[in-house]
Amino acid sequence: MLIEENKPLAPFTTFQIGGPARWFAQATSEEEIAEATAWAAERSVPLFVLGGGSNLLVSDAGFNGLVLRVALRGITALPAAKQLEPLKAAGEVKAAGEVKGAGFSPYANQAEATRALAPEGGSSEASTVRPSSSTGSGAAAASDQPGQRIYRVAAGEDWEHFVQRAVDDACAGVECLAGIPGTVGGTPVQNVGAYGQEVASAIERVRAFDLRERAFVEFSAAECGFSYRRSRFNSADRGCYAVTRVDYRLTRGGAPTIRYADLQRALAARQAEGRELSLAEVAEVVRGLRQSKGMLLVEGDPDCRSAGSFFKNPVVGEEQLQRIAAVSQKAPPRFPAGPQPENLDRVKIPAAWLIEKAGFTKGYRLGAAAVSSRHTLALVNLGDCGGSGGHDERRGASAAEILALAGKIIAAVEARFGLHLEMEPVMVGF
């Protein structure tokens, strides 16, 4: 495995911000993940596991340790009834979440493992589709259980590619998550969600490398501890695991999820025609909504140099909701907080609404850092967009400027509403 030194990290992030990694490696197999993490452990070097770089802010000083980029690729369709067979074939199935031996394989044999995680351009059989194909022909070859299908997806696979694959296969469950940048491995970490869907509702199993025990482990969805934008991987067990694979259980021939208000409005005219909407139609409308808010990666679009939503939507109780309404003299928009027991009698308030009511308009800037011109929930790196004043915008925003702007927004929202906004991106090197 190649270990590079002083590797610039900004090109690996959608923010296009940050200093270099002292050391950098890219893993295309589980064996290389074990090798790279061992290299760091032997030298007592800090380790950061990098995925698609779409939800992080790297410090201007960079990261004084090893950045390991997970680049495992491959999508395999499995009949839902066969989900546990590879585990049984590999040996004794231990309690879910229990550490397996380092030699444990989630596949029935080495041939299946090679096919499932083969890099783009490698040989394949019909049941495996690599990033270069989105025809759905691979899934058609699988002996499907009516109504459901399991997709076993390597962590380095592009998330948008997998969503398109599922839509092409007429498998419902992730269509509202179209257009989200990043890789599959990051989706269970953040419990990625948008437009009325969360990956928690589709995830069947997560496979990861335990950095403490140096062994591969598997977690059921229930053991991942999912809640709004949270999982065990970014809370209690932050920094303890490197996700290598995610299994999704989707519904073949299922109807699209249309429960989010913006999406309902965008689809109202089509629904009025009285016909059933396809997954492809819904995914395309979602992408359009994301683009209108600067949340779709489009080359040359300055609003795309961001980490997407920079703040989490606060979840509040009735008392807090009434206090916010009294201060603003208007009831804030609200959405269901989720089905978890802790969200009983609680609602979600759009952070964008709070930010605007605290005095920050679209396009507000601080140096080369700014609030997106299309959505107040996103902070952007203006880069070479021009402007006046002493700041040299051509060099782009610094991480310090982004955090200064975020801090100003947080302080203003807290001063007016008594509510502390939580930043969503992962902070690296601070």
276 occurs within a structural domain: no
257 occurs within a structural domain: no
- Helix 399-417 vs helix 318-328: crossing angle, to nearest 10: 90
318 occurs within a structural domain: yes
Beta-carbon contacts of 363 under 8 Å, excluding residues fewer than 6 positions away, are 370, 371, 372, 373
pLDDT at 250 over 50: yes
pLDDT tens per residue across span 183-213: 999 999 999 999 999 999 999 999 999 999 9
- How does the average pLDDT of the chain come out, rounded? 83
Contact 65, 45 (CB under 8 A): yes
Q: Which domain holds residue 12?
A: 4-70
Domain CATH code at residue 325: 3.90.78.10
The percent of residues in the chain predicted with pLDDT above 70, rounded, is: 82
Question: How far is 350 from 363, CA to CA, in rounded Å?
Answer: 18
Q: Are residues 188 and 103 in the same domain?
A: yes
pLDDT at 10 over 90: yes
Closest Cα to residue 121, out of 135, 131, 134? 131
Contact 62, 22 (CB under 8 A): yes
pLDDT tens per residue across span 75-129: 999 876 655 444 433 333 333 333 333 332 333 333 333 333 332 323 222 222 3
Of 191, 226, 252, which residue sits at a domain end?
252
264 occurs within a structural domain: no
Domain CATH code at residue 44: 3.30.43.10
Question: How far is 219 from 95, CA to CA, in rounded Å?
Answer: 10
Question: Tokens 């699209």 sit at which residue?
Answer: 256
Active-site positions read 229, 309, 424
Residue 339: predicted pLDDT: 72
Beta-carbon contacts of 230 under 8 Å, excluding residues fewer than 6 positions away, are 190, 191
pLDDT tens per residue across span 352-399: 999 999 999 999 999 999 999 999 999 999 975 433 333 444 578 999
pLDDT tens per residue across span 166-189: 999 999 999 999 999 999 999 999
Of 36, 70, 104, which residue sits at a domain end?
70
Q: Are residues 218 and 241 in the same domain?
A: yes
Beta-carbon contacts of 341 under 8 Å, excluding residues fewer than 6 positions away, are none
Contact 266, 289 (CB under 8 A): yes
Closest Cα to residue 382, out of 8, 54, 52, 16? 16
215 occurs within a structural domain: yes
Q: Are residues 348 and 376 in the same domain?
A: yes
Of 230, 252, 274, which residue sits at a domain end?
252
219 occurs within a structural domain: yes
Number of independent structural domains in the chain = 3
Residue 104: predicted pLDDT: 28
81 occurs within a structural domain: yes
C-beta contacts of 129-136 below 8 A and 24+ residues apart: 129/75, 129/76, 129/77, 129/165, 130/73, 130/74, 130/75, 131/73, 131/157, 131/158, 131/161, 134/161, 134/164, 134/165, 134/168, 135/168, 136/165, 136/168, 136/169
Q: Are residues 53 and 81 in the same domain?
A: no
Domain CATH code at residue 134: 3.30.465.10
Question: How far is 303 from 301, CA to CA, in rounded Å?
Answer: 5
Q: Are residues 244 and 182 in the same domain?
A: yes
Residue 357: predicted pLDDT: 96
Q: Are residues 125 and 239 in the same domain?
A: yes
Contact 120, 133 (CB under 8 A): no
pLDDT tens per residue across span 50-70: 999 999 999 999 999 999 999
Contact 155, 191 (CB under 8 A): no
Q: What is the signed CA dihedral for 127, 131, 137, 141, rounded to 10 degrees? A: 10
158 occurs within a structural domain: yes
When pLDDT is averaged across residues 223-237 and rounded to a whole number, the result is 93
pLDDT tens per residue across span 304-353: 899 989 999 999 999 999 999 999 999 999 888 877 777 788 999 999 99
